[in-house]
Chain A
Amino acid sequence: MKLDIIQILAHIVNIAILYFFLRWLLYKPISKFIREREQRYEQREEDLKAKEDEASALKAKYEMLTEETRAKADEVITQSRVNANKRAEEIIEEARVQARNMVEHARADIAEERRTAQASMAEEVADLAVTISSRILEREVNVEDNKHIIDKFLTRERIG
């Protein structure tokens, strides 16, 4: 086989033409397409990252709000419990005072009733004693006893 320099040059020229043609026809558009697609992906990635960041921020905010709400709820529950306990103690103390007053009143009533009963009984006993004494004395006292009373009066140093 004999090397033809002309043909070699023609091939080289052809290859060069093909190279530049193909480069013009395919490489640049494809490169441009690939670059644009990469840019789109990068943009999407950035958007995704931004959305992730936003979602993370929202999640953090939500968690913070949740935590605050929980803390407030705990505080409300604790305060309600404290208030309820305080009110319960007040109610118990009021009931205690009321019960003490009732017992004192009952004791006072009983004492008063006892005093009244004793006084009534004393009066009945006294009336009975006087009635019995009167009946006995009405039967037993005689003229001599009256004379004795008169003598006693006359022998007193002072009357009154």
Chain B
Amino acid sequence: MVIDGLLISAWDMTDEEVRRIEEKLSKQIGQDIRLRREIDRSLIGGFIITVKHHRYDYSIKSKLSEMRKYLVQ
């Protein structure tokens, strides 16, 4: 059974990069993953993956948000 997920990136990824990410996720979750691609320039860099209500955020935008929280504390 293949699970659909969403991959939002700041830059257009190559098919090879997406395939390797899907492979890594499938290994981790134990089920085949197929990612639908979207581009969001506001992420600045990196990407966000959403699979089965799980969200994996590797974007520069989120890092900046963490930095802001740290500075405010």
Contacts and interface: CB of A to CB of B under 8 A. Distances in A.
Interface stretch (A64-72, A83-91, A100-108, A147-155): A147-155
Contact of B24 (A138, A145, A159): A159
Contacts of A6: none
Contact residues on B (Cβ < 8 Å of other chain), bracket: 20 to 34
Nearest to B18: A150
B1 interface: no
B21 interface: yes
Q: Chain A contact residues (Cβ within 8 angstroms of B): what range?
A: 20 to 34
A141 B68 contact: no
A146 B46 contact: yes
Contacts of B58: 149, 152-153
Interface of B: 9-11, 13, 17, 20-21, 24-25, 28, 44-47, 54, 56, 58, 60-61, 64-65, 67-68, 71-73
